[in-house]
Amino acid sequence: MYFSNTCINLLKVSLFGALFLISANVSAKRNKCNQFLDQKALQLVGNRTDLQVFSKTITFVQEENWDSVLVNTQKLLQLGGNQKLLDFIHYYRAEAFHKKNILKYAMREFNLVGSEFEFYTMVRFNKAGIFLSWEKYNHALNLFKSIDTTDQKGIRTIPIDALFHNIGTCYFHLGDFEKAEKYLLMAIQKILEAKNDSALMVSYMELAAVYYEQYQDEKAIVYFEKAYFLSQKYGSFESKQKTSLNMAVVEENRKRYDKALFYRKEYEDWRDSLNDQNKIYEVAQIEKKLALTHEQQRVKLLQTENKLKQARLNTYLFAALFLLLVIIFGTYFYRQSVLRSRVILRQKQELDLLNATKDQLFSIVSHDLRSSVHALSVSNSKLKDKVQKQEYSSLENQLEENSVIATNTYNMLDNLLNWALLQTNGGYFKQEEHRLSMLVDHVAFNFKGVLNQKGITFENTIPKSVKVFVDAESLKIVLRNFMDNSIKFSEPGALISVSVQSGNEDEVCFQWKDTGKGMSEEMRLKLLSDSPQLTKKDHEKTIGSGLGMNLCRAMLAKNAGKLDIWSRQNEGTVMIVTLKKCADGKN
């Protein structure tokens, strides 16, 4: 089955608006090629203060403010410059005219760009596109074909799919259908790789036209149908209208009038939709103008009435205005005074808190640290005397005493550092899901040597399935303090145990128990009080200021936990800790 010339001409008319779609899109949207050119232009500017106008021009180009581009480039041409700069200026002027569809001036500016220009491949491509728009197919083809597709540096500055498509378009209009088919198929392959559905639809339509022009109906129909289905998914109103018209002509020629009628009706529906949209917009504009006119008339009427009343109300108005200004300014200055007072009070409170924290920190450093260092110095003096007197039998006890003093001093300094970080909101803090048993085992492993040396037994009976939602490092600080205190106040052969108590669905309660010296009720209440003041230990031989327990309470509070203490002197101590379960509630 073959098409008549009338049908072919009708198809050409329907395709005419789409034949240059790819090249038009290339000039309509600035792509990566343009961005690469802009980067090179900015490198040319560098730190030169005399090229600030050119730098501003590049900004206008990127914003697609083409009128400002033309104004600035005209100033630059008057100032002059080297050939490399002039090439960029003429290219940007040509691009601006091209975007504004002033093709004659765009061609003139492209012709002024030197052939040594780094982006001359883009110049050739755009000049060829203009010739194509002017239907000068031989000129366009010669320029397109002059682009060396093996030159990787030049070809990366233009869209290769558009190049193949436009060459195919030129061959189509020049009647060389074999080459037109070849290049259009190459373009389709590149477009498929780029996944550009709108460009693919246009290439399908043009390839179908090539086949129809040669009366290869079956091949053409396949591509017309592909273009039609693509337009239904991704096309605009106009593309849907054109593809529907193409399919109507195809089906009429195939004598399938029912389908032709369907496509013709679809074409008219899309055409009516466009017309309806235009009509709705026009009606809306008319209604807007009428509403504006009505509103202006109403405003004029109100203004006239106000002028008549103004003569009687001027005196009262000025008096009321004066009184209102007095009230406004009085209220404003009063509120400013209150706000300043609140700011000063808040700053004073913050300063007092910072000073109290500073004094407390200096007090700990000056008293407790000096005491521990002094104790170590005295112990070292005793050790030196015993070495001089050759009392080697008592050296082990003296060295053990030195080790205890050094360990306690280190733990106090570690607590002091963590406490200072906590007070200043320093340090890393992130709550996550952790196995409680594993955290306890980590802490116990670090104290394994001390436990063995003192002959203390440690038992961890927490099930491995128990999970808590905490910051691991801050909870380890709490557990280290518990372990340090338990070892410090327990005799050799004592027992330290950790176990889980029954809790509710949202909390985990565990207890840290030792059989050490315990503490008085007064000390227990001080450790649990909310007072930030630090306290000394009940036992004179131990070095410390109660900072560790103060730190434990703060760290647990930060993890949304709670601390309780049970203790009796000479019976031991039990630290009862409550923590949140993991987020999913699974244990």
pLDDT of residue 454: 84
Number of Cβ within a 10 Å radius of residue 125: 26
The pLDDT value given to residue 12: 47
Question: What pLDDT does 511 receive?
Answer: 92
What whole-number distance in Å separates Cα of residue 340 and Cα of residue 273?
64
Tokens (6 digits) for 353? 């808190």
In CATH terms, 410-580 corresponds, of 3.30.830.10, 1.20.120.1200, 3.30.565.10, 3.50.50.60, to 3.30.565.10
Q: How many residues does the chain have?
A: 587
d(CA 164, CA 428): 58
What kind and span of H or E run contains 576?
Answer: strand 572-580
Q: What is the pLDDT along the chain (587 residues), one digit of tens a residue?
A: 434 444 444 444 444 444 444 444 444 456 667 777 888 888 887 777 778 888 888 888 888 888 888 988 888 888 887 888 888 889 989 989 998 899 999 999 999 988 888 888 888 899 999 999 898 989 888 888 888 878 777 777 788 888 888 888 898 888 888 888 888 888 887 777 777 777 777 777 777 778 777 777 777 777 777 777 777 766 666 777 677 777 777 777 777 777 777 777 777 777 766 555 556 666 667 777 777 777 788 888 888 888 888 887 888 888 888 888 889 988 888 888 888 888 898 888 878 776 776 666 666 555 556 556 656 666 677 777 777 776 666 666 667 666 666 766 666 666 666 666 666 666 677 888 999 999 999 888 888 878 887 889 999 999 998 999 998 888 888 998 888 888 888 888 899 999 998 767 788 999 999 998 888 888 888 888 765 444 444 454 454 556 778 878 888 888 888 899 999 888 899 999 999 887 554 44
Read off the amino acid at residue 324. Answer: L
Give pLDDT tens digits for 51-83.
888 888 888 888 888 888 898 888 888 888 788
CA nearest to 198, candidates 162, 172, 236: 236
pLDDT one-digit tens code per residue, 549-585: 887 888 888 888 889 999 988 889 999 999 988 755 4
- Radius of gyration (C-alpha) of the chain in whole angstroms: 44
Q: What span, in angstroms and rounded, lies between the C-alpha atoms of 503 and 514?
A: 21
Kindly list the distances between the CA atom of residue 46 and the CA atoms of 63, 86, 92, 119, 398, in Å, as whole numbers in the listed order. 20, 16, 18, 19, 73
Residue 6 has a pLDDT of 45
β strands within 348-481, DSSP E: 432-435, 457-460, 467-470
Residues 6+ apart with CB under 8 A from 523: 535, 538
> Which H or E run includes 148?
none
Between CA 552 and CA 527 the distance in angstroms is 10
Is 145 exposed, middle or buried (CB count within 10 Å of its CB: 0-12, 13-18, 19+)? middle
- Amino acid 401: pLDDT: 63
Closest C-alpha among 500, 496, 492, 541 to residue 515: 496
Domain boundaries, given as residue ranges, for the chain:
32-157, 410-580
Q: What per-residue confidence (pLDDT) applies to 3? A: 41
Distance between CA 138 and CA 144 in Å, rounded? 10
Q: Tell me if 432 sits within 8 A of 469, measured CB to CB.
A: yes
Tell whether the torsion through CA atoms of 167, 169, 175 and 178 is positive or negative. positive
pTM: 0.43
Task: Give the C-alpha separation, 244 to 241, whole Å.
Answer: 5
pLDDT at 497: 94
Q: Which DSSP symbol is given to 346?
A: H
| Rounded to 5°, angle at Cα 327 from 323 and 332 | 150
Q: How far apart are CA 276 and CA 274, in angstroms?
A: 5
Whether the CA torsion 43, 48, 54, 55 is positive or negative: it is positive
CATH topology of domain 32-157: 1.25.40
The tokens of 339 are what? Answer: 């706000």
